[in-house]
Structure 1
């Protein structure tokens, strides 16, 4: 159990950089190009890891049908999710997009109840509502949000996709090293094909490569793999999922430093609700 929490906490810290780094990249590079190139780095990194630790030998253990399922998960969970989230980032501030994106842990708990038949206790429900209120408070900027309906809808749809992906990925219970390797290959191929038809790609230069490598290797490859492992081995999905609510607050701090986006009293109040939900869930989750 301790290892699951370590994986989840590391993931949270890495994911806290996602909104700011991606927002910076998208200011100069089209969405699907960013997704395609970073996904190639994710695929290559995981392939090297799988070769080095011998996991690649397990490729033969899966049937063509298994790889179809992995590809379907990749299309739903990380291609569709990432494409929608990246679009949302182009329409909203990094803070707003990140906060709306973190509806997905709520989706995860709901899907875990429907698909995995995990029980939503009273305490889980209160904790979920508490953390959700924090997200609502943090994202409440009605005058600006009304003008970004597509961005809002995109981020909410992305959250639903990733919440469903997380549960389905846990349910099939494949080796996550192999699964995530296949998934990022699918994301790279789908992004490249769609991007070829709908975007005018640009030449990636200088420091942009550092951002692409960070996005591909650390955020896409390492963080998503650790999160998948944490969920796969967790006995109680909701407890792990609630840790993800730390990410929006940490992301605010990163955005303040990197993008100059201001931290407000509103963010502090939201943080109290978010942390309150996490503490309630993790200390009283068995009540």
Structure 2
């Protein structure tokens, strides 16, 4: 049993917050994706900046360009794609396709980090891929534009997997720097919104959802995950991560955004089960 230290518990807190990402995004439905990305990161970045100041100042924001490119590209790119995917495709299916990222981390760890891929890890990846095929097996019932959303969801998975794997090569970047990455993502999101979308003024429900997004899944979760991945037990966090798509989809169903039919339950089992096998392989 891996030793559960405080950093590992912090990473577990990030996973718990991410379980609420989809349902909070749907609670803010009606806000354009890029606007939602900008507003969520503005809240999260502001709270993170206050935390960085409380810890001794803003010197952590002085990072090389490669760190900024990695942080902003990963955070902004992933969430812009994610919110657009939930807006353009059935939320439950798009959400589960997005959660192929842990399996993709396993695949990318070989060419990028030089880690060996054994048969159990490959079995886990194959199960996750089978889960995505099950999700899309009913594609004839989807609206034509849903396929664009599914493509964006797969883009989410690749973006976050690449961001996570490359983070191991930037372990010297302090966690406080994430505040700067969030604020830069907010500025970038606002600029892209101005170019491609029209502003929608949120109502009370949407404001609450945006505030909760920024405080949790699009805010505190990044700082907790950074701590967990750099100073905790990544094996245990990787295993626990595969509970997130299950919890996230169940929350969507409770919110009324999905029906837990046989196809969706089978896909959940394949994605989560494949992830556990891949993460626990020696």
User: Normalization by structure 1: what TM-score?
Assistant: 0.86
Distance 1:133 1:169 in 2: 28
Of residues 255, 271, 274, the one that matches 1:277 is 274
Indicate conservation of the 8 Å contact 1:170/1:228, yes or no: no
Long gaps (5+) in structure 1: none
Pair 1:13 & 2:16 matched: yes
Once residues 82 and 101 of structure 1 are traced to their aligned partners in structure 2, the CA distance between those partners, rounded to angstroms, is 11
Aligned 8 A contact 1:35 1:188 in 2: yes
| Residue 43 of structure 1, aligned match among 12, 31, 45 | 45
Superposition pairs of residues 157-168 of structure 1, within 5 angstroms: 157-168=155-166
- CA distance in structure 2 between the partners assigned to 1:214 and 1:235 by the alignment: 28
The equivalences for 1:106-185 within 5 A come to 106-145=103-142, 147=144, 148-185=146-183
- Please list every run of 5 or more consecutive structure 2 residues that lacks an aligned counterpart in the other structure: none
CA distance in 2, matches of 1:274, 1:152: 16
Q: How much does 1:241 deviate?
A: 3.4
**Distance in 2 between residues matched to 1:150 and 1:223, nearest whole Å:** 28
SS in 2 for 1:245: helix
- 1:176–1:229 contact (8 Å) kept in structure 2: no
Match of 1:227 in 2: 225
Q: Quick check: 149-158 or 118-127, which moved more?
A: 118-127
> Is the CA contact (8 Å cut-off) linking 1:20 and 1:259 kept in structure 2?
no
SS class of match (1:244): helix
Question: Does the 8 A contact of 1:127 with 1:281 survive in 2?
Answer: yes
Match of 2:265 in 1: 268
Paired residues, what number?
Answer: 278
Deviation per CA, 1:121-176: give whole Å up to 9, x if none.
22222233234433443453221347222111111112111111111222111344
The 3 A distance-change label for structure 1 pair 105 and 279 is closer
Distance 1:184 1:246, change over 3 A: same
Which residue of 2 is the match for residue 59 of structure 1?
Answer: 60
Aligned counterparts of 1:234 and 1:110: Cα–Cα separation in 2:
22
| Distance across 2 between alignment mates of 1:146 and 1:204 | 27
* Aligned partner of residue 212 in structure 1, secondary structure: helix
